[in-house]
């Protein structure tokens, strides 16, 4: 009796299924990694927009009055929208500045932000 050489059709199909499962896992991992990089990029740009908005406010008004200000800025390829809320603190000589940064003009989803304290000069 002579043995045949080679793989049976069932063995080839099993190997193809295993390879396809591995490729699906690799593509999924690459997609998740790409999404994470995009989110980190957005958060970094949002923090730069927040920093710039705070510095511009502090340069324009050494001790800003209480209230809210909104604006927009271009950073990277996107147009960003920010909102600064100036609040009183327990010490009347110190103000708290909270800036929130959004990608959409409706300001529905906060991407990033910063906070700062300023004192009366």
The hierarchical CATH code for the domain 9-119 is 3.30.1300.30
Residue 49 has a CB neighbour count (10 Å cut-off) of 27
Please report, for the chain, the start and end positions of each structural domain, with discontinuous segments joined by +. Answer: 9-119
Residue 82's SS3 state is strand
pLDDT for res 110: 93
Write down the pLDDT at residue 30.
82
pLDDT at residue number 37:
83
Mean pLDDT of 42-60: 93
Q: Which H or E run contains 24?
A: helix 9-60
């Amino acid at each position: 009796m002579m043995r045949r050489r080679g793989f049976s059709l069932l063995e080839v199909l099993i190997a193809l299924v295993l390879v396809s499962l591995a490729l699906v896992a690799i593509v999924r991992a690459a997609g998740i990694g790409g999404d994470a990089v995009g989110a980190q990029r957005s958060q970094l740009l949002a923090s730069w927009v927040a920093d710039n908005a705070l510095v511009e406010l502090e340069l324009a008004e050494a001790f800003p009055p209480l209230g809210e200000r909104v604006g927009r800025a271009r950073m990277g390829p996107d147009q960003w929208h920010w909102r600064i809320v100036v609040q009183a603190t327990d010490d009347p000589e110190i103000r708290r500045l909270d800036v929130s940064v959004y990608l959409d003009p409706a300001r529905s989803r906060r991407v990033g932000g910063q906070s700062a304290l300023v004192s009366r000069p």
